Amino acid sequence: MVESGLMLVKQWFKVVQGWLKLVEKG
């Protein structure tokens, strides 16, 4: 349960970082 949760958080964090990079480039 915990491990799968961490995996989801890591994947979501990667998506958020990529989105922030696109926003910064704007």
Looking at residue 6, what is its pLDDT? 96
Predicted TM-score (pTM) of the model is 0.55
- The token pair that represents 12 in the structure block: 């979501």
Amino acid at 24: E
Per-residue pLDDT of the chain (26 residues; tens, 9 = 90+): 789 999 999 999 999 999 999 999 88
Angstrom CA distances, 13 to 7, 8, 19, stand at 10, 8, 10
Using DSSP, state whether 26 is helix, strand or coil: coil
